[in-house]
Amino acid sequence: MFIFKLSYQQSLDEVEKHLPEHRNYLDKYYALGHFVASGPQEPRTGGIILCRASSKEQALDIVRADPFYLHQIAKYEITEFTPTKYAIGFDPFIE
């Protein structure tokens, strides 16, 4: 499992211009079973995506498909981790 931490590199006006494309990207990867949760940081300086991927390379490929990445709207920090404890009902998200 991976945590994608996005840090905006552009103004919120620029972020808003690309938000519909970014949301379509999120919808696609939720439908493919890769994304588990996502949302903006508070304060709104970026966002977080919890991603299931089989390898770091696959996680990088997923990041590279994000319009925020393609248009240099955000910088990405990727952290890999292995969940060892989790809430009841989270089992389907663990590979």
* Whole-number CA gyration radius for the chain: 13
Number of domains in the chain: 1
Q: What are the helix (H) ranges across 8-93?
A: 12-31, 56-64, 67-70
Residue 47 lies in a domain: yes
Q: How confident is the model at residue 93 (pLDDT cuts 50, 70, 90)?
A: confident
Structure tokens at 65: 């498909």
Let me know if residue 89 belongs to a domain. no
Q: What is the pLDDT of residue 23?
A: 97
Q: What is the pLDDT of residues 24-52, one digit of tens each?
A: 999 999 999 999 999 999 999 999 999 99
Kindly state whether residue 8 falls inside one of the protein's structural domains: yes
Contact predicate 53/47, CB 8 Å: no
